[in-house]
Structure 1
Amino acid sequence: MNLDLTGKTALVCGASQGLGLASATEIALLGANVIAVSRNKEKLQRTIESFDTSRGQQHHFLALDLSNTEEVKQAVSGLLQTINTIHILVNNAGGPPPGPMIDTNAAEIEKAFRTHVISSQIMAQLIVPGMKAAGFGRIVNIVSTSVKQPINGLGISNLVRAAVANWAKTLANEIAGFGITVNNVLPGSTNTQRLDSVLSKQATEQHINKEDFIRKTAAAIPAGRMGEPSEFGAAVAFLCSPAASYINGINLPVDGGKTGCL
């Protein structure tokens, strides 16, 4: 099985923590050069120092706010002046604030669309020409199992994750002939700061002890536990590899079997 990404360059968004960090770490372990993206420059500097360099990889970072689409366009355009080809794009951004859809402010929806949908479109338009020239490209979007089964209390997230998934499927059909695949990976309950925040809020709203609520949540997963970020990152890295060249346009849940539909 060819999992070798030596000589490839990956741009990984939201790479300073959580699922983005786990994905970037696993992609680097397969030999790729990683450009880590997030808003915090100091955290990014520490992050890239943790990536594997055993195959001569050279890692860089780009401090960027994905909700600022003009900043995204300028920063990625500038990056491509020095790095000719980005072979792998991992789209990932922090989840929108939780809450019921009926109580959601329209401005928050607009911000979420800029962050998750518009910025992904801008980066793809800039990066895909290089992928086409190289005859190799991987776009992986970190979304949510809400793509298949909306999650109560995550109104904005349900909306924008579905938009990203449909954007990705459309793009997958358009560019597969150039050796480029586009796939979505759907995390279930995984031990991250984001999940801890969501579960804490839900436990408070239901007047349940947080630890008891977490145990109850884990018990509802067929695997009987929460996932680890590294398990999710391994799935993302595999989809980026040459071995996954004929996997295109899919939604892959990494959720211990929790999602109730096919």
Structure 2
Amino acid sequence: MNLDLTGKTALVCGSTQGIGKATAIELALLGANVTLVARNEEKLRETVEELDHSSGQLHRYVVADFSNHENVKEAIENYLRLCPDVHILVNNTGGPSGGPIIEAETEQFIRTFQMHVVNNQFLAQSVVPSMKKAGFGRIVNIISTSVKQPIIGLGVSNTIRGAVSSWSKTLSLELGQFGITSNNVLPGFTKTSRLDAVLEMRSLSSGKSKEETAEQMQASIPIRRFSEAEEVAAAVAFLCSPAAASISGINLPVDGGKTESM
């Protein structure tokens, strides 16, 4: 099985913590040159130092705030002037705060759509030309199992994640002829700061402790535990590899079997 990414350059968003960071680490271990993208420069510097360099990889970082599209646009355009060849794009942006969809403000939908769909579209448009030139491209979007089974209390997130899924499927249909795949990885309950926020929200609404809430949530997962960020990253890395060349346009849950749909 060919998992070798030597000579390939990966742009990984939201890569200073959680699944994004775990993905950057995994791609570097497969030989890729990794460019981290996040808003905290101190954490970016620290994370770059953690990436594997044993195959002579050259790792970089870009400071960009995904809540500000113009900032993302300027930062990525500046980066691509210096480093125009990108073979792998991992879109990974934190989700919005929870709550019933009927209570969500219009501005929350607009802001979240811009953070996820608009930024993803800009990034894809920016890197696809170099992917076409290389005859190799991988776009992987880390979204949520909510695209298969909406999650109660995450109304805005459910809506926007679904939009990203449809966007990605459309890309797969348009770009496959150029050796470019587009897929979505759908994490379930994964040990990240996002899970901590969900636990806090559910604990407050139920009146139960976070520990009790966590136990109940884990009991609903067939493997009876939360996933590790590294387990999700392994799925992302495989989809980025040469071995996954015929896999495109899919939604891949990494959720311990919790999603009940096929």
The one-letter code matched in structure 2 to 1:188 is G
**Is 1:72–1:122's contact at 8 Å kept on the other side of the alignment?**
no
1:36 alignment partner in structure 2: 36
Q: Which residue of 2 aligns with 1:94?
A: 94
CA offsets 1:169-213 (integer angstroms, 9 cap, x no match): 001100000000000000001111110111111111100111011
Separation of aligned partners in 2, 1:104 and 1:84: 39
The reply to whether residue 180 of structure 1 matches residue 180 of structure 2 is yes
Gaps of 5+ in 2: none
The aligned amino acid for 1:186 is L
- Give the aligned partner of residue 76 of structure 1: 76
Partner amino acid for 2:55?
A: R
Answering whether residue 150 of structure 2 is matched by residue 150 of structure 1, we say yes
Residue 204 of structure 2 is matched in structure 1 by: 204
Contact kept in structure 2, 1:14 and 1:37, CA below 8 Å: yes
Verify the 8 A CA contact 1:8 1:33 in the aligned structure 2. Answer: yes
User: Which AA in structure 1 matches 2:219?
Assistant: A
TM superposition score normalised by structure 1: 0.99
CA distance in 1, matches of 2:6, 2:128: 19
User: What whole-Å deviation, never above 9, does each CA across 1:110-161 have from its counterpart, x for those lacking one?
Assistant: 1101100000000101110000000000000000000000000001100110
Unaligned runs of 5+ in 1: none
The answer to whether the 8 A contact 1:200-1:210 is kept is yes
- Report the secondary structure of 2:234's partner residue: helix
Q: Which digits, 9 at most, give the CA deviation of each residue in 1:77-103, with x for residues without a partner? A: 211111121000000101111111111
Letter in 1 for 2:7: G
Equivalent in the alignment of 1:218? 218
In structure 2, C-alpha distance between the alignment counterparts of 1:209 and 1:69, rounded to whole Å: 38
Q: Aligned residue for 2:55?
A: 55
| Cα distance, 1:67 vs structure 2 | 2.3
Aligned residues between the structures? 262
Deviates more, 1:249-258 or 1:71-80: 71-80
Aligned partner of 2:5 in structure 1 is 5
Q: So what's the TM-score if we normalise by structure 2?
A: 0.99
Corresponding residue for residue 252 of structure 1: 252
Work out whether residues 64 and 72 of structure 1, in 8 Å CA contact, stay in contact via their aligned partners in 2: yes
Shift, 1:242, TM fit: 0.3
Residue 121 in structure 1 maps to residue 121 in structure 2: yes
CA distance in 2, matches of 1:235, 1:254: 8
**Distance between the aligned counterparts of 1:121 and 1:72, measured in 2?**
12
Q: Distance in 2 between matches of 1:95 and 1:36?
A: 19
State the alpha-carbon separation in 2 of the partners of residues 62 and 101 from structure 1.
Answer: 34
2:232 corresponding residue in structure 1? 232
> What CA distance in whole angstroms lies between the structure 2 residues aligned with 1:114 and 1:18?
22
Distance 2:18 2:105 in 1: 27
Secondary structure, counterpart of 1:249 in structure 2: coil
